Amino acid sequence: MTPKLASVALLGTGANMVSVFNVSLPYLIEDIIDLSTVIMQPGEGYWVKVPADSVWTVDW
């Protein structure tokens, strides 16, 4: 239940984009391809693009 960088939290999944809610944007969704700039917070929702089948073991 601690914040993690998306690049760490999604390691091994092949994820190449995360979309996050941003109240300052006109459409409220921001697509981010540099996963090392996204801090994933417990209790928040994210859309994650994984371009191929993958097994992801969540270790929080």
Amino acid found at 57: T
Helix (H) or strand (E) holding 9: helix 6-9
Domain that holds residue 9: 4-49
Residue 33: inside a domain: yes
Mind listing the pLDDT tens digit for each residue in 28-59? 899 999 999 999 998 888 999 999 998 887 76
State the total domains in the chain.
1
Residue 25: inside a domain: yes
Mind listing the pLDDT tens digit for each residue in 2-31? 999 999 999 999 999 999 988 787 778 999
* CB-CB neighbours of 36 under 10 Å: 10
Residue 36: inside a domain: yes
SS3 assignment, position 31: strand
Label residue 60 by pLDDT band (50, 70, 90). Answer: low
